[in-house]
Amino acid sequence: MTAERMKMLDLRSDTVTHPTPEMYNAMMNAAVGDVVMGDDPTVNELERLGAELFGKEDCIFTASGTMSNQIAVFAMTERCDQIIAHDKSHIYNLERSGLAQISGVQVRAIKTEHGQYCMEELEKNLISDSIQSAPTTLICLESSFNLNDGLVLDPKHIQDVVEIAKKYGVKTYMDGARILNSCVSSGVEPKQMVEGIDAVALCLSKGLSCPIGSLLAGSREFINKAKKVRQMLGGGWRQGGVIAVCGIEALKDWQKHLEQDHEKAKDIISGVRSAERGKNIVFNNAETNIIRIDTSSFNMKAEKFAENMKDKGILVKVIEPFAVRIICHSDLHKKDIPFVIETILDCVGE
Ligand SMILES: *Cc1c(COP(=O)(O)O)cnc(C)c1O
């Protein structure tokens, strides 16, 4: 390891990105007020931008993607309702059963092929209110799909789900923690991507490099409820403008940054594949910034591969006994791509 690379290159997630120099600078100069009292001008501006970005009436700034998800479901359901989510969704798997704890809803987790609902299966799970069954009142979507290696939901599929939901009078929610990655990948504007969706959340703290925060957008009525739920969960910021200003910075040029992240992912995969030793290594399609490496393709446990990578200065995340994840982000510089490729090739064994 050269001196320059003594510092670990952290590719476990895009959440590890640090605020940009522009963000630090903006934090110093942010106008602030009191968010709970509604007069923090910077938070108000970020929320306005969020509503505009998604073509919704209103928006709130929350502490995290998880908080946005939990607020959204609470505000859109009644206790004991049933809601539909993908069996591999973040909201169902990685939020400490918050849906049960906070909203008291029952989840109908549906198995999906490539992250898309089978429409017949979806329709079967739209249960109507009866003596024996609580009604299904909400369908959740996720794009890009975290536990499906950054897969992008087909915008047409989203519209099919919206249509069926409208037909049954059911609400729709998009967990769009990385929705802007999906937009960049598919060339669809955020507004179009979530057209007809009742509410959508975005993480500012992932590929967008903000230190903290998420946006949740929807109708004015929904956001009014959401504000109360945010307060209940302890998410009422005071001088939130200090953090919100980073979101304003991030929304200025997200396309360019996320496009670059996607390119880095493609460059790493093609770089490995073009080497003689790398021919048999199995990757996902990497439609966005998430690379999955199937370590079974070179007969190695994921833990062992991750250890090898760490010894050489790169952190990756074990996601299955035989799969690791690498996420490309703005703190991974283009000049380090050859190092990443070489290191992967060095770590797969003979
Ligand atoms: C990261 C993520 C979340 C949670 O966001 P946090 O800010 O880490 O709480 C929710 N949904 C999806 C799809 C995510 O990728």
Torsion, CA 301, CA 109, CA 154, CA 189, rounded to 10:
-100
- Answer for the pair 159, 184: CB distance below 8 angstroms, yes or no: no
Inter-axis angle of helices 337-347 and 302-311, to 10 degrees? 130
Q: Which two tokens stand for residue 34?
A: 């009191």
**CB distance 148 to ligand 1 below 6 Å:** no
291 beta partners = 326
Q: Give the residue from 178, 181, 186 showing the smallest Cα distance to 214.
A: 178
d(CA 325, CA 150): 10
What is the per-residue DSSP string for 187-236?
A: T--HHHHTTT-SEEEEESSSTT--SS-EEEEE-HHHHHHHHHHHHHTT--
d(CA 290, CA 284): 9
- The one-letter code for the residue type at 180 is L
d(CA 62, CA 100): 20
Give the three-state DSSP class for 298. Answer: helix
Q: Give the residue from 80, 83, 72 showing the smallest Cα distance to 125.
A: 83
- Answer for the pair 46, 23: CB distance below 8 angstroms, yes or no: no
Residue located nearest, by CA, to atom 12 of ligand 1 = 177
**CB distance 326 to ligand 1 below 6 Å:** no
Q: Give just the sign of the alpha carbon dihedral 335, 339, 344, 350.
A: positive
Q: What spacing in Å lies between the alpha carbon of 204 and ligand 1's midpoint?
A: 10
- The one-letter code for the residue type at 71 is I
**CB distance 142 to ligand 1 below 6 Å:** yes
Does the pTM surpass 0.85? The reply is yes
Nearest-atom index, ligand 1, CA of 65 = 5
Q: Which two tokens stand for residue 56?
A: 């919704």
Give the three-state DSSP class for 115. Answer: coil
pLDDT, residue 350, reads 67
d(CA 17, CA 61): 20
pLDDT, residue 341, reads 97
- Answer for the pair 35, 53: CB distance below 8 angstroms, yes or no: no
**CB distance 177 to ligand 1 below 6 Å:** yes
Q: Starting from the edge strand earliest in sequence, which strands make up the sheet with 290-294, in order? A: 282-283, 290-294, 323-327, 317-320
Residue 190: CB partners within 8 Å, gap ≥ 6? 53, 54, 55, 179, 180, 183
The dihedrals phi and psi of 11, each to the nearest 5 degrees, come to -115, 25
Tens of each residue's pLDDT in the chain, 350 residues: 454 556 899 999 999 999 999 999 999 999 999 999 999 999 999 999 999 999 999 999 999 999 999 999 999 999 999 999 999 999 999 999 999 999 999 999 999 878 899 999 999 999 999 999 999 999 999 999 999 999 999 999 999 999 999 999 999 999 999 999 999 999 999 999 999 999 999 999 999 999 999 999 999 999 999 999 999 999 999 999 999 999 999 999 999 999 999 999 999 999 999 998 878 999 999 999 999 999 999 999 999 999 999 999 999 999 999 999 999 999 999 999 999 999 999 999 86
Residue located nearest, by CA, to atom 8 of ligand 1 = 65
pLDDT, residue 6, reads 63
pLDDT, residue 252, reads 96
- Answer for the pair 104, 80: CB distance below 8 angstroms, yes or no: yes
145 beta partners = 151
pLDDT, residue 4, reads 52
Residue located nearest, by CA, to atom 4 of ligand 1 = 65
The dihedrals phi and psi of 315, each to the nearest 5 degrees, come to -95, 130
**CB distance 175 to ligand 1 below 6 Å:** yes
Q: What spacing in Å lies between the alpha carbon of 73 and ligand 1's midpoint?
A: 15
pLDDT, residue 271, reads 96
Q: Which two tokens stand for residue 214?
A: 């998420």
- Answer for the pair 332, 13: CB distance below 8 angstroms, yes or no: no
